[in-house]
Amino acid sequence: MAILADKNTRLLIQGITGREGSYHAKQMIEYGTNVVGGVTPGKGGEWFEGRIPVFDTVKEARQATGANATCIFVPPRFAADAIFEAIDAKIELIVCITEGIPIADMMRVRTYIDASSSRLVGANCPGLLTPGQAKVGIIPGYAGLPGSVGIVSKSGTLTYEVMSALSQRGIGQSSCVGIGGDPVSGTNFIDVLQMFEDDPQTEKIVLIGEIGGDAEQKAAEYIKTKMTKPVVAFIAGKAAPEGRTMGHAGALIESGKGTHAEKVEALKAANIKVADHPEQIPDLL
């Protein structure tokens, strides 16, 4: 099995005719992802790469293609509306790559999606990869190898680094999910950990966190009380100075809260092995 997306996923790409959207759409298609359509207002009726139909609205695209997932490459000021449109079209899985969406917009999105049947991954995330089956977003497909280790991460580049380190050791992955590190997002660590716990293909899990907030502490408590599968973790940002945003908008230590030490302590208290650096993860697994 796979979580969230597999070879049967029927994917739309919102913003498919833009620079970023078109580039990554080609990558997803080349990987073998079942991209069934794109959405760009005002360009309905056109064709992407000569074979992927482009629609004016998500609703039209869903009705014509039977799409059940969408990947959003839309500028920040329009991204919230793009998510709302996908929710209204009842798209089951929404992956938003866009970074820089105002927190106020994401708070409105979160309220709306919580009242819907859709799941949002992101925003400001790399998306997800089910090796050998589907690539939804910007995770490089060549880094993955089919297998039984699930990865959930706040960081995009560290996701790729850990995937590559595992693959080079012959340790394959079931699914790799980048949830993003913004303060307000759609899917969190616990959501993905539960999916991996329920997935018969996933035998072990890697959690990649970073400084700021308390998501890792909450995940540690969930792992300790609810999970049976072994988890290995890595926390980025050990040398980050207090009060400075490091990478993601949520990676901010304030008043000594959300520190690297706090998170590592919580994880170790839950009997989770914590790597000192990403290259150590294969050995800990």
Report the candidate in 109, 66, 102 with the shortest Cα–Cα distance to residue 87: 109
Distance CA 272, CA 282 (A): 14
Predicted confidence (pLDDT) per residue in 143-160, tens digit: 999 999 999 999 989 999
| Residue 175: partners with Cβ closer than 8 Å, 6 or more residues away | 2, 3, 4, 5, 128, 129, 130, 150, 151, 196, 199, 202
Least Cα distance to 70 among 155, 128, 3 occurs for 128
Domains of the chain: 11-122 (3.40.50.720), 139-284 (3.40.50.261)
Pick the catalytic residue from 24, 248, 260, 277: 248
Give the predicted TM-score (pTM) of the model.
Answer: 0.94
pLDDT value of residue 210? 94
- Say yes or no to pLDDT of 241 above 70: no
How many contiguous H segments (helices) and E segments (strands) does the chain have?
9, 14
Identify whether 24 is a catalytic site residue.
no
pLDDT at 216 over 70: yes
Q: What is the mean pLDDT of residues 111-116?
A: 98
